[in-house]
């Protein structure tokens, strides 16, 4: 699902920015700083990352309406192995059911 080696990555996710921030806080407790309602900054000893959350129009499928948020990840000053480890954890936390 995720391209784990690119320094910039973009995804459309079926959640609101608030849902994203709530899940992300469980994934990385205490290490992110909200720059605004739609921007998070993460800096650890080995990872420098900015996350931009861009609300999109909801997706409608018959009577079902899903929220959509474009999630942009911008990595800086990190190794490919650190990025891969982060993306594996990110994928695990944001995995949704389906087949």
- For residues 19-54, b (16+ Cβ closer than 10 Å) or e, as one string? ebbeebeeebeeebeeeeeeebebeeeebebbbbbe
Alpha helices in 5-58 (DSSP H): 17-27
Q: What is the pLDDT of residues 53-74, one digit of tens each?
A: 999 999 999 999 999 999 999 9
- Regions in the chain scoring below 50 on pLDDT: 1
pLDDT at 3: 59
| Predicted local distance difference test score (pLDDT) of residue 5 | 64
pLDDT at 80: 84
In the chain the domains, ranked by start, together with CATH numbers, are 13-94 (3.30.1370.80)
pLDDT of residue 23: 94
């Amino acid at each position: 699902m995720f391209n784990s080696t690119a320094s910039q990555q973009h995804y459309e996710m079926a959640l609101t920015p608030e849902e994203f921030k709530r899940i992300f806080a469980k994934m990385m407790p205490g290490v992110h700083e909200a720059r605004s309602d739609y921007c998070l900054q993460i800096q650890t000893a080995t990872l420098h990352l900015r996350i931009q959350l861009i609300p999109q129009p909801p997706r409608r499928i018959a009577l079902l309406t899903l929220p959509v948020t474009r999630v942009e990840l911008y990595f800086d000053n990190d190794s490919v192995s650190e990025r891969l480890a982060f993306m594996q954890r990110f994928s695990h936390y944001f995995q949704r059911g389906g087949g």
